[in-house]
Structure 1
Amino acid sequence: MPLHPDLDKKLSKKYEPKTRVDDVFKGYDITFLTNEHGEPVILFFGRRRPDGAIAGERYTRTIKRVPDTLEVKHSHWDLQGKIR
């Protein structure tokens, strides 16, 4: 299942490198982790539990770059499965 276009747009932005961002998207809780370039690479999507973890789905991002640069040539999100 592809990500919602608005969520994909939000995750295409750059954030603080190597950090965790907790947010809300269309009534769902999201948490994503960024890589050393500030690009979101792991996404947790669902409902936040009292301990702060999210029960829902986990996605990982594959990034392909233009050779010898940090420019993103292509990226896509893969559903890794349910999390409880």
Structure 2
Amino acid sequence: MPLHPDLDKKLSKTFEPKTSIDDVFKGYDITFVTNEYGEPVTLFFGKRRPDGLIAGERYTRTIKREPDGVTVKSSHWDLRGKILR
């Protein structure tokens, strides 16, 4: 299942490297983890529980880079399954 285009656009930006960021998107709670370049690479999408964890779905991002090793050539998000039922 592909991500909502607005969420994909939001996650195409760069953030602080190697951090976990909590946010809300269209009424759903999201948490994403960034890599050393500040690009989101793991996404948790659903409803936040009282302990702070999200019950919902987990996505991971595959990034292919240009030969320079920094520029993103292409990327896509893969649904990895349900989490914390």
Same fold (TM over 0.5): yes
Pair 1:69 & 2:69 matched: yes
Q: Could you tell me which runs of 5 or more consecutive residues in structure 2 were left unpaired when the two chains were aligned.
A: none
Q: Map of 1:1-84 to 2, 5 A cutoff?
A: 1-84=1-84
TM-score (norm 1): 0.98
1:24-71 Cα offsets, whole Å, 9 max, x none, are 000000000000000000000000000000000000000000112301
TM-score (norm 2): 0.97
The share of aligned pairs that are identical, in percent, is 81
Moved over 4 A (4+): none
CA distance in 1, matches of 2:47, 2:20: 16
